[in-house]
């Protein structure tokens, strides 16, 4: 049996020092300048990613920099189409190597619960470039989402998070809880190893969640513990080669 090749992705281009994490990434989810950052930062981040041969992805979110795109906005379908098209098109124009789209923050959470939002993201993505993939967190409604993506001819890259806690229903623990984000590098290393070795996550109540459909692991570059964790893993794996 061939062992799965996992990729590592992170949200970047949001105003942090991405030079610390970029050398370890396979995929970079680059902010499109609406929920954070700016077009200049986006351009700089694309150049940094491409200098390390990191796959470039667009990371669109709700245009609400005050709340870092982490609050849901009640947009009409036309408004959602407009903001998505503007953000993904920007990345498509700035990078000739754009490979996928990963929605940010509240938009990401909303698409998992609302098929209309998920379909709109698929529609806009396919209209810009039907060869783009869509990065989506593993969740209980994957069959419905896969069917929608298939309608638009899009491939889904299922994702799991290394530095976030999970609810028993398989969704991320909301950030309003103190334990929603792992701040200890050893715990993040342990979660990554469990993902790779057992293809599962342990929820906050002890429930074991199957994430065997996932192919990519997300860490957050603005979490110093995450950066420390992937550095530790890189050194450990190099020594064991």
Confidence at residue 222, expressed as pLDDT on a 0 to 100 scale: 86
Distance CA(109)–CA(105), nearest Å, equals 7
Using CB atoms within 10 A of its CB, is residue 40 exposed (0-12), middle (13-18) or buried (19+)? exposed
Polymer length of the chain: 241
Confidence at residue 3, expressed as pLDDT on a 0 to 100 scale: 74
Distance CA(80)–CA(44), nearest Å, equals 26
CB 207 within 8 Å of CB 214: no
Confidence at residue 240, expressed as pLDDT on a 0 to 100 scale: 45
Distance CA(38)–CA(36), nearest Å, equals 7
- What's the pLDDT tens digit per position in 26-53? 999 999 999 999 999 999 999 999 999 9
Confidence at residue 221, expressed as pLDDT on a 0 to 100 scale: 84
Cβ-based neighbour number of residue 14 at 10 Å: 25
DSSP state of 10: E
CB 217 within 8 Å of CB 154: no
From the first residue on, what is the mean pLDDT of each consecutive set of 10 residues in the chain (241 residues)?
84 94 97 95 98 98 95 97 98 96 98 98 98 98 98 98 97 95 97 97 97 97 92 66 40
Confidence at residue 94, expressed as pLDDT on a 0 to 100 scale: 97
Beta strands per DSSP E along 24-79: 27-31, 55-59
CB 59 within 8 Å of CB 37: no
CB 21 within 8 Å of CB 219: yes
Structural domains of the chain ordered from first start: 9-239 (3.20.20.370)
126 backbone dihedrals φ, ψ, rounded to 5°: -65, -35
Angle at 12 between CA 102 and CA 215, to 5 degrees: 45
Confidence at residue 166, expressed as pLDDT on a 0 to 100 scale: 98
Helices (H), the chain: 39-51, 77-94, 105-113, 115-128, 142-151, 185-198, 224-239
What tokens does 46 get? 């694309």
- What's the pLDDT tens digit per position in 94-117? 998 999 999 999 999 999 999 999
Confidence at residue 100, expressed as pLDDT on a 0 to 100 scale: 99
CB 216 within 8 Å of CB 157: yes
CB 156 within 8 Å of CB 134: yes
Confidence at residue 205, expressed as pLDDT on a 0 to 100 scale: 97
């Amino acid at each position: 049996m061939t062992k799965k090749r996992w990729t590592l992705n992170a949200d970047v281009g949001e105003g942090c020092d991405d030079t610390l994490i970029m050398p370890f990434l396979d995929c970079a989810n680059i902010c499109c300048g609406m929920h954070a950052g700016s077009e200049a930062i986006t351009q700089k981040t694309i150049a940094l990613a491409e200098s390390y041969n990191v796959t470039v992805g667009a990371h669109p979110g709700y245009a609400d920099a005050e709340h870092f795109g982490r609050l849901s906005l009640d947009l009409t379908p036309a408004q959602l189409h407009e903001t998505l098209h503007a953000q993904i098109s920007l990345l498509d124009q700035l990078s000739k190597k754009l490979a996928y789209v990963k929605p940010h923050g509240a938009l990401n959470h909303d698409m998992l619960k609302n098929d209309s939002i998920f379909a709109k993201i698929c529609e806009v993505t396919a209209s810009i470039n039907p060869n783009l993939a869509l990065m989506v967190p593993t969740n209980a409604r994957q069959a419905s989402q896969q069917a929608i993506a298939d309608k638009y001819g899009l491939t889904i890259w299922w994702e799991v998070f290394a530095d976030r806690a999970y609810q028993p229903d398989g969704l991320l623990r909301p950030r309003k809880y103190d334990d929603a984000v792992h701040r200890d590098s050893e715990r993040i290393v342990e979660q990554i190893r469990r993902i790779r070795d057992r293809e599962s996550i342990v929820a906050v109540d002890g429930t074991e969640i199957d994430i065997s459909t996932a192919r990519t692991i997300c860490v957050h570059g603005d979490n110093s513990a995450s950066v420390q964790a992937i550095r530790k893993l890189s050194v450990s794996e190099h020594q064991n080669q």
